[in-house]
Amino acid sequence: MRHTVEQIKKDSRYQLLDKLHYDDIVDFATKYVRKRTRSMFFYLVLIIVFLILQWSAFLYGIFARDMNTISLLKQFLYGLIISLTIVIPLHELIHALGYFLLGARKIRFGAVLKHFAFYAAADDFVVNRKAFIFLALSPFVIVSLLNLTGFVFVHGYASYTYISVLFFHATMCAGDFAMLSYFEFHRDKELYTFDDVGKKISYFYYKKPEDSQ
């Protein structure tokens, strides 16, 4: 049975843990990026691997394939531009699709422009830890696989655009991994989260252990 916001708020077994206003997302994310969790260690390793892959491909193109350096640098620039224009909406659409597959129908898109942060949120839709992990990781996994496929199967200079998008998109997933770090930091609790999109607030509740009730 899926939990509802009304149930969470009215049932004394559920306790408010955190309340996050969308405008404070950068400070909140920064706090949990710095936590020594497995989520952040895994993310850091991935960023390093993608960075090495990007520049190894670049150097291979120059020295082994005798490709033009300026042309290769243009592909990396194209990758950054594509990441900032096409991939950001795609990233949020994948979040939205994840919500839809979980059963949410009141899905909203928005942005905190002062932080250049974008979001897809389901209004008054409760998700547990397992569902949140699915929501957080889906864009990273899908976009990464698409670009790795492009890098492998597309030939010539264009393949370097894919490897560039792979890296730049991964850096843009820091917020998603910070939220995973938050859930891991509170792994001793049975967590639930939902959004009040009108107020631009995310709520995090936990269910009290049976022996404390």
pLDDT digit string, tens, across residues 36-59: 999 999 999 999 999 999 999 999
Give the mean pLDDT of 24-40: 95
Contact 101, 159 (CB under 8 A): no
In sequence order, which residues have a C-beta less than 8 Å from that of residue 76 and are 6 or more positions away? 54, 58, 160, 161, 164
Residue 98 has pLDDT above 80, yes or no: yes
Decide: helix, strand or coil at residue 109.
strand
Per-residue model confidence (pLDDT) at position 209: 86
Per-residue model confidence (pLDDT) at position 8: 96
pLDDT tens for each residue of 127-151: 999 999 999 999 999 999 999 999 9
Per-residue model confidence (pLDDT) at position 213: 55
Per-residue model confidence (pLDDT) at position 2: 81
Q: Residue 1: which pLDDT band, with cuts at 50, 70 and 90?
A: low
Give the mean pLDDT of 62-71: 93
CB-neighbour burial class of residue 190 (10 A; exposed 0-12, middle 13-18, buried 19+): middle
Helix (H) or strand (E) holding 49: helix 38-63
CA distance 95 to 139: 6
